[in-house]
Amino acid sequence: MRVVETRVPGAFVFTPDQIPDARGVFFESFRCDLVGDVVGRPFRPAQINYSTSGRNTLRGIHGVKVPPGQAKYVTCVRGALRDIVVDLRVGSPTFGAHHETLLDAESGRCVYVPEGVGHGFLTLTDDACVCYVVSTLYVPGTQIDINPLDPDMALPWGFSERPLMSEKDAKAPGVQAALASGLLADWHDVR
């Protein structure tokens, strides 16, 4: 597996080595030991989630309050999407920086999103399916939502027509309002 750290410290892109033959392709998508070695601490799955979406659906920017915090290992198991991580850790030297990755079922590419970093994606195909392997169980009331169209972040979604979004995401605060309200994790608490 090839691993590259993104512009957002602690966020990594994992691209599996594929073994093709007459039947198709085989590859390892996830290994706890490898992810732990790369990120410098154990990553143990506590829950696995899936979402399916039609083309031009925008989900995010989402995170989880610290505590409990939540790291994610995200992959697209059907279709394709533009995945974006945003450094939302207060005091981080790269606060506000983002990284964009094309995730598609064909490549098997995955993104590791550390605690305190926001995550979202725009689907590029019909019936895209995303798998999230997460480090903590869902705890109601701990989700952080940042408006993915916040002009202060100016994320490069690349859509040509307004995307389909949940009401919750469309009405979510911008990054400056989230910062002022104390929702965001401190860089030192998640390092």
**Residues classed as catalytic:** 62, 132
Helix (H, G, I), strand (E, B) or coil at 74: strand
CA dihedral 74, 76, 80, 85 (to 10 degrees): 0
For 38, list phi and psi in degrees, rounded to 5: -70, -45
Strand partners, 188: none
Q: What angle do CA 33, 132, 141 make, to 5 degrees?
A: 115
CB 153 within 8 A of CB 96: yes
Instruction: Identify the DSSP state of 161.
Output: S
Q: How far is CA 8 from the centre of its chain?
A: 12
Q: Whole-angstrom Cα distance, residue 101 to residue 7?
A: 11
The residue to which tokens 């965001």 are assigned: 184
Q: Whole-angstrom Cα distance, residue 66 to residue 61?
A: 16
The residue to which tokens 């390892």 are assigned: 28
